[in-house]
């Protein structure tokens, strides 16, 4: 197995960087690598971090105003002529508001557009429920031909941005607003569609995506220290096409799974894992995520805790699933 | 709209049916995808595919889907049917042409009723912002939609004034008069610094007495007897025109 070069969370000082910052830098790198990469933004260039690209490549940056349906449909037109548009806004509106344009003009029409959903999850914080996208993975993963990527930290978001620019196809790239823990390094490999085992273990597999991968690692560390339970932690950054092999292997070897995502548990990443395991290796699963509710204002930490996605909640889910594990 | 598509495919467009993906071709988008049969017919007669293939329309396995799908027939330029989306994509293509300093033009055929969609007006604003003078929007102004007259369902007038207010150059013509439509399109092409709209006033069911102007024919095909009646009425008119022309 390729070495992962992860941050040693036991010894290293915790570094916090927003995933959106990784996107901003990644887009500049993608723009340098390919002159067909263009940026289109719906009045949020600073907060989505498309600003850097705008400064670096002013002639390849298009400001569209507050018009997210236009953002999607126009990008499809640009892609038809060979451009590789990255379209940025908050995930709630892009793709939240533009779903039908994404489906018809981008997916059915097979256009090479990259949808950039910033400020995803309840960790947007004080903006409240209207701006907290927690249904976006569901509405994107259901569309044929769509790729869905949810990187775990700023460094991985940088790599994911470059990778989706290089790889042909309509793609949804999701990330958050708040500063979050850095768990990977520049040397950590990244490949779309390849889940990574960030921690070895065979008692329970915790399959996580996005910034909650850090919480999953923390939970696993504490469970090992206090409960003597060894969890496998999988960074499942590609929701579609999902690494089915890695999921089935985890199901077979650990025989119990906890899924962790900053999204509704209905129809999200965890649901996909249930679909895969139900068909090939049925095992008990506990789902960490928002339980069919809307968010609200609060600090990101408060909200992650309140909606049951904190480290304690993950540990409790592991304990519950252990009791349901066959032969336990 | 048969007249408009005949004019486009046989006079206006720079295209090559034998090389549908020729990079310098003009792009023609059909935003109101439900009128695909008239475009398919014009394309068949222009040589994009055999005329006999028209009978596969809307049937299983056909390239001629109920609404246009580019992945099945690339010369369609895009996949359309959900209304109000064509001009947005056309604006993207026209902007890409500007970025690449390409000389081809983009034409988008729209229905009048799809001007009730918000996205269409987002595209109207955007095209004006980027001064897309390589973009022409053609409106099939027939005043009908599924539930009745456009002016009863959701009034569009004053349509020309709306476009002018959005900084477009506005042209109007009789959409059933091929010569007048072509002359108008040629004038539109000369405009610099602004996108153009050609409001083509059309009479739905033109030439067939029992269909003309009746919105109930908007989304329904005639039965065999009605089709024969319509075709004989049209061919009688055609013979008269041929005689008249000498």
Q: Mean pLDDT of successive 10-residue segments in chain A (328 residues)?
A: 90 96 98 98 96 98 97 98 98 98 98 98 96 98 98 98 98 97 98 98 98 98 98 98 98 98 98 98 98 97 98 98 89
Q: Quick one: A218 exposed, middle or buried, by C-beta within 10 A (0-12, 13-18, 19+)? A: buried
Do residues A176 and A227 touch, judged by C-beta distance below 8 A? no
Rounded to two decimals, the ipTM of the complex is 0.94
Q: Which of A64, A73, A87, A89 to mutate to test the interface with B (most CBs of B within 10 A)?
A: A73
Among B82, B90, B119, beta carbon nearest to A77 = B90
pLDDT above 80 (res B245)? no
| Pick from B53, B89, B92, B55: nearest CA to B73 | B53
| Tokens at A327, concatenated | 């032969």
Q: How confident is the prediction for chain B on average, in pLDDT?
A: 95
> Rg (Cα) of chain B, in Å, rounded?
18
Query: Under an 8 Å CB criterion, which residues of A touch B?
Result: 38, 59-60, 62, 64-65, 67, 69-70, 73-83, 100-101, 104-105, 108-110
Looking at residue B237, its pLDDT comes to: 87
Instruction: Tell me how far CA of residue B62 lies from CA of A74, A141, A143, B135, in angstroms.
Output: 28, 28, 23, 31
3-state secondary structure of A148: strand
| Tokens at B1, concatenated | 């709209």
CA–CA separation, A279 vs A203, rounded Å? Answer: 21
Q: How far is B11 from chain A (nearest CA, A)?
A: 24
CA–CA separation, B154 vs B26, rounded Å? Answer: 33
List chain A residues with CB under 8 Å of B122.
67, 69-70
CA–CA separation, A79 vs A57, rounded Å? Answer: 18
Q: How many residues are recorded in chain A?
A: 328
**A69/B99 CB distance under 8 A:** no
pLDDT band at B196 (very low <50, low <70, confident <90, very high): very high
**DSSP 8-state secondary structure symbol assigned to residue A133:** B
Strands (E), chain A: 16-18, 37-41, 61-63, 84-90, 114-118, 147-149, 171-174, 179-181, 196-199, 204-208, 231-235, 238-240, 257-264, 285-290
Looking at residue A57, its pLDDT comes to: 98
**B78/A64 CB distance under 8 A:** no
Predicted structure pTM score: 0.96
Asked if A68 is an active-site residue, the reply is: yes
Give the rounded percent of residues in chain B with a pLDDT score beyond 90: 89
CA–CA separation, B105 vs A153, rounded Å? Answer: 44
CA–CA separation, A297 vs A127, rounded Å? Answer: 6
pLDDT band at B215 (very low <50, low <70, confident <90, very high): confident
Which of A142-156, B118-132, B212-226 is the least confident region? B212-226
Q: Which of B26, B66, B85, B137 to mutate to test the interface with A (most CBs of A within 10 A)?
A: B85
pLDDT above 80 (res B246)? no
Instruction: Tell me how far CA of residue B79 lies from CA of A107, B8, B151, B197, in angstroms.
Output: 10, 19, 28, 22
CA–CA separation, B178 vs B8, rounded Å? Answer: 10
DSSP states along A30-83? HHHH-TTEEEEESS-TTTTT-HHHHHH-GGGEEE--S-HHHHHHHHHHHHHTT-
Each residue of B64-115: pLDDT tens digit? Answer: 999 999 999 999 999 999 999 999 999 999 999 999 999 999 999 999 999 9
């Amino acid at each position: 197995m390729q070495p992962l070069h992860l941050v040693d969370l036991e010894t290293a000082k915790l570094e916090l960087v927003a995933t959106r910052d990784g996107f901003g830098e990644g887009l500049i790198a993608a723009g340098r690598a390919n002159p067909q990469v263009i940026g289109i933004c719906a009045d949020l260039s600073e907060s989505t971090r498309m600003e850097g690209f705008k400064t670096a490549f002013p002639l390849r940056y298009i400001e569209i105003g507050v018009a997210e349906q236009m953002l999607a449909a126009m990008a499809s037109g640009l892609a038809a002529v060979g451009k590789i548009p990255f379209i940025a806004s908050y995930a709630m509106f892009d793709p939240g508001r533009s779903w039908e344009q994404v489906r018809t003009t981008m997916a059915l029409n097979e256009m090479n557009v990259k949808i950039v959903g910033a400020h995803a999850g309840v960790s947007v914080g004080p903006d409240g429920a209207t701006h907290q996208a927690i249904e976006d993975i569901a509405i994107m993963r259901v569309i044929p031909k769509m790729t869905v990527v949810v990187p775990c930290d700023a460094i991985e978001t940088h790599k994911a941005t470059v990778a989706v620019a290089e790889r042909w196809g309509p793609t949804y790239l999701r990330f958050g607003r708040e500063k979050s823990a850095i768990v990977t390094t520049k040397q950590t490999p990244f490949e779309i569609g390849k889940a990574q085992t960030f921690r070895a273990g065979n008692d329970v597999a915790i399959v996580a995506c996005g910034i909650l991968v850090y919480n999953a690692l923390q939970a696993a560390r504490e469970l090992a220290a206090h409960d003597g339970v060894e969890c496998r932690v999988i960074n499942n950054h590609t929701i579609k096409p999902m690494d089915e092999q890695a999921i089935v292997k985890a199901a077979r070897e650990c025989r119990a799974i906890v899924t962790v995502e900053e999204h509704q548990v209905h129809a999200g990443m965890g649901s996909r894992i249930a679909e895969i395991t139900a068909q090939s290796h049925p095992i008990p699963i506990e789902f960490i995520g928002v339980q069919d509710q809307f968010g609200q204002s609060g600090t990101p930490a408060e909200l992650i805790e309140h909606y049951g996605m904190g480290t304690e909640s993950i540990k409790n889910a592991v304990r519950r699933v252990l009791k349901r594990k066959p032969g336990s | 709209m048969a007249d408009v598509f005949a004019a486009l495919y046989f006079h206006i467009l720079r295209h090559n049916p034998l090389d549908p993906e020729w990079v310098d071709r003009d792009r023609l988008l059909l935003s109101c995808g439900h009128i695909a049969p008239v475009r398919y017919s014009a394309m068949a007669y222009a040589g994009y595919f055999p005329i006999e293939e028209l009978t596969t329309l809307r049937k299983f396995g056909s390239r001629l889907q109920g609404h246009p799908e580019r992945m099945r027939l690339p010369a369609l330029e895009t996949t359309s049917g959900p209304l109000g989306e064509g001009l947005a994509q056309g604006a993207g293509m026209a902007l890409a042409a500007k970025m690449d300093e390409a000389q081809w033009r983009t034409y988008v055929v729209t229905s009048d009723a799809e001007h009730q969609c918000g996205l269409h007006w987002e595209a109207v604003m955007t095209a004006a912002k980027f001064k897309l003078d390589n973009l022409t929007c053609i409106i099939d102004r027939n005043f009908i939609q599924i539930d009745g007259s456009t002016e009863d369902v959701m009034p569009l007038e004053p349509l020309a004034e709306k476009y002018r207010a959005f900084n477009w150059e506005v042209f109007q013509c009789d959409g059933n008069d091929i010569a007048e439509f072509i002359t108008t399109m040629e004038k539109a092409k000369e405009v610099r610094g602004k996108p153009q709209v050609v409001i083509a006033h059309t009479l739905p069911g033109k030439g067939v007495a029992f269909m003309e102007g009746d919105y109930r024919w908007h989304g329904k095909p005639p039965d065999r007897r009605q089709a024969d009646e319509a075709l004989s009425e049209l061919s009688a008119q055609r013979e008269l025109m041929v005689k008249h022309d000498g």
